[in-house]
Amino acid sequence: MAKLFIFGIGGTGSRVIKSLTMLLASGLKPLNDFEIVPVIIDPHKDNEDLKRTVSALNNYQRITEKVGTGNGFFSTKLSTLQSLDTKGSLGGTYTFTLKDVESTKFKDYFSYNSLGEENKALADLIFSGRTINSAKEEIDLLEIPMDIGFVGNPNVGSVVLNQFKHSEEFRVFANNFGKDDRIFIISSIFGGTGAAGFPTILKSIRDAAGQSDISNAGFLRDSAIGALTVLPYFNIEVDEKSPINKSDFIEKTKAALEYYRRNVNSSLNMMYYLGDRHVGKAYENDPGSNGQKNKAHFVEVAGALAIIDFMNVGDSELSTMNGRPVNSVYKEYAIRNNSQDLSFAELCDGSRNLLGRSLTQFTLFRKYLQENLEESIERQAWSTSQPSFDKKQKNAQFYGSNLLGFLRQYDEWLDELGANARSFRPFDRQSDLMNLVRDKPLQANWLGMGKFKYDTFDTKLNQLDNRQAYSSAEQKLISLFYKTTGEITGEKYGYQQI
């Protein structure tokens, strides 16, 4: 199976990968089958966006380790770089560890004090500017601590992230990169980490032939590379003591886009642009010292769809020769209606069908487990038939920790999408089953016949259970509910299961 290596840079990279994880869990699967290897690059190790994404990835991986990936939900394999590392030199996480940044000031990172006077003067010129430390004190850029990120300064980030090509993670990635594998890079363009990291990582990949310890440099040079560049899509509070100023976002974006046009775009097979002119409720202006925990946003969902789109493209459309794509393709994303409160109806046909089917199935699965499992377990035939899913299974680690842990993260993700501005609220999860999907309320006849209730759900589960064989109770739970919710979404909402 071919692999897709995804490099998610900074907070935006983490949040897009989290949205992708939710979509993959819901059963949304690309036409071309890939094993996905996410690598998150962020110097800010205490970034809450990073932590939440890694936690969701870990739960996803534990679920698939138990039940496999052929069951509809959680149908795509996710792997860490460590799983590809035959030398065992990496830790088992989804993050790239930046060296020499913890408790280190920027000037110490490149040994500023050991430079001669002329080089010091050059460094002062290049890195002129001031920022704010965690105590809200104004300090010189050369004095900023490296482990809270680059606080909107890509000139600082480009120096630190240059270590990527010399890292053990890059060696493992490069030496395990096959002829049919692909690469996707996620970054924002209006901050520090993403704007700096994207060109640096792309250049490291295309120029890997110059490194003696890379065995697959030719594959990397001519690899299919897609990238998502996220333009401004959220607002932040005004804070005169913060180095992050929303008024700089547009100017930084314009400057970076021009640089990309001249130096980056020609090295990409596909470039996806995303942003949102409507920036509503302001996020807290957090340069990094308080953990940076932003609400999920629909732009990140659209970013995840860009990754799915890239995997769906055929190999013939992604030809590269001598490090240069034969054709570079640029894509944008649009919604049907410019509503500030999105449901499935406001999306264009492709997104509406993909998200409508998969998210409705997964939300039905979650709602049943939350509201009706206790009533049905050890009573309904689907639960008691072998392999039985009983209260012992319900209290075991797979269900009680890994699956429910992931489903709580899914709930949080939907809650945040619905609370953001612009909001994405496809479901009314507090309603009954008849009114679950906001733009597709179900109708019973005048006698009340045809009402969608949990006994209807159980009848369908029991019918489908009789037609299948399962390797374990855990695998049965995932597979049976995927098939059942697939038939329900087809019958009730008109979605066709793929």
pLDDT in 10s for each residue of the chain, 498 residues: 999 999 998 889 999 999 999 999 999 999 999 999 999 987 766 778 889 999 999 999 999 999 999 999 999 999 999 888 877 777 667 887 665 555 566 666 556 677 778 777 776 776 665 554 444 445 566 666 655 555 555 555 566 666 677 788 888 899 899 999 999 999 988 765 666 778 888 988 998 876 667 888 889 999 999 999 998 876 655 445 444 455 566 777 777 788 888 888 899 999 999 988 776 565 554 544 455 678 999 999 999 999 999 999 999 999 998 888 999 999 999 999 889 999 999 999 999 999 999 999 999 999 999 999 999 999 999 999 999 999 999 999 999 999 999 999 999 999 999 999 899 999 999 999 999 999 999 987 655 556 889 999 999 999 999 878 899 999 999 999 999 999 999 999 988 765
CA 92-57-296 angle, 5° bins: 135
The tally of CA atoms less than 13 A away on the side-chain side of residue 395 is 3
Model pLDDT, residue 416: 96
Tokens (6 digits) for 467: 């037609």
CB 191 within 8 Å of CB 23: no
C-beta neighbour count of 69 within 10 angstroms: 19
CB 126 within 8 Å of CB 120: no
Tokens (6 digits) for 352: 């509406």
> DSSP label at 142?
G
Model pLDDT, residue 113: 72
In 3D space, the residue among 379, 375, 406, 377 whose CA is nearest the CA of residue 477 turns out to be: 377
Identify the burial level of 411 via C-beta atoms within 10 angstroms of its C-beta, where 0-12 means exposed, 13-18 middle and 19 or more buried: middle
Q: Which residues of 107-122 are buried (b: 16+ CB within 10 A; e: fewer)?
A: bbbeebeeeeeeeeee
Q: Delimit the domains of the chain by residue range.
A: 2-100+149-333, 105-144, 355-493
How far is CA 195 from each of CA 48, 101, 249, rounded to the nearest angstrom? 20, 19, 11
Pairing of β 138-140 and β 130-132: antiparallel
Q: Which residues of 33-47 are buried (b: 16+ CB within 10 A; e: fewer)?
A: ebbbbbbbbbbbeeb
C-beta neighbour count of 456 within 10 angstroms: 15
Model pLDDT, residue 168: 83
Model pLDDT, residue 132: 45
Rg (CA), the chain: 24
Give the H/E segment covering residue 486.
helix 473-493
Tokens (6 digits) for 108: 């110490």
Reported in sequence order, the residue ranges of 204-306 that DSSP labels E, i.e. its strands, are: 224-230, 270-274
Tokens (6 digits) for 180: 């049919």
CB 294 within 8 Å of CB 49: yes
CATH 3.40.50.1440 fits 2-100+149-333, yes or no: yes
Pairing of β 329-331 and β 324-325: unpaired
C-beta neighbour count of 321 within 10 angstroms: 9
Tokens (6 digits) for 187: 């970054």
